[in-house]
Amino acid sequence: MNTQLTENMIFEKITFKDNLLAAGVYEECTFKSCNLNSTDLSGIIFRSCSFNNCDCTLATLKNTSLQNVKFMNCKLLGVQFNQCKEFLLQLDFESCILKLAVFYKLKLKNTRFKNCNLQEADFSEVDLNGAAFENCDLLRTTFMHTNLEKADFRSAFNYSINPEINRIRKARFSIPGVTGLLTSYDIDIEW
């Protein structure tokens, strides 16, 4: 295991497919407008790092450690976050495209998703206790055996959550969005 430590560095406008990101630990680093599309980030440790305006589409995160990592204005299409190390996993997403992202079985308590496109993302068996989905598009997003207790969906839209197979106690919803809790019953609702 490579334990090379890189601290407080700014990586800007780098295409990492051409320049491989060295294995090791990245602490308090910032990645700005970088292209990590299809880049293998396996085994790398990111601590208190931020990714701004980066394309991380289909990046490989096998045994990658994401500790207090923030993604802003990033493209994360098809990223399988479920392959990350769960120890100290802490994420924050703002204005990101997370279509087809997979979070299967992760513990994401109090995670914030703000202004994100989460269409067709997979949150099956995820612990999202206290998570916030602020102004997020959840069209065809999968919630199956998911802990959504105390989660905030008040400004989220296009979601479909079956209360019979998900834990939603104390979750917060608004009208008309709350109708997304009834879609599994195949009923017609008129206003």
Where do the domains of the chain lie, and which CATH numbers do they carry?
A: 1-77 (2.160.20.80), 98-191 (2.160.20.80)
pLDDT digits (tens, 9 = 90+) for 33-89: 999 999 999 999 999 999 999 999 999 999 999 999 999 999 999 999 999 999 999
Nearest to 177 by CA among 14, 111, 168: 168
Q: Which residues of the chain fall short of a pLDDT of 50?
A: none
User: Rounded to whole angstroms, what are the CA distances from 6 to 11, 23, 142?
Assistant: 11, 10, 37
Alpha-carbon distance of 68 to 82, in angstroms, equals 16
Could you count the other beta carbons within 10 Å of the beta carbon of residue 5? 10
H helix or E strand, kind and range, residue 69: strand 69-72
How much is the pTM? Answer: 0.92
Q: State the pLDDT at residue 129.
A: 98
Q: For the chain, how far is it from start to end, CA to CA, in angstroms?
A: 59
Q: State the pLDDT at residue 20.
A: 80
- In 82-165, the DSSP E strands lie at 91-94, 112-114, 132-134
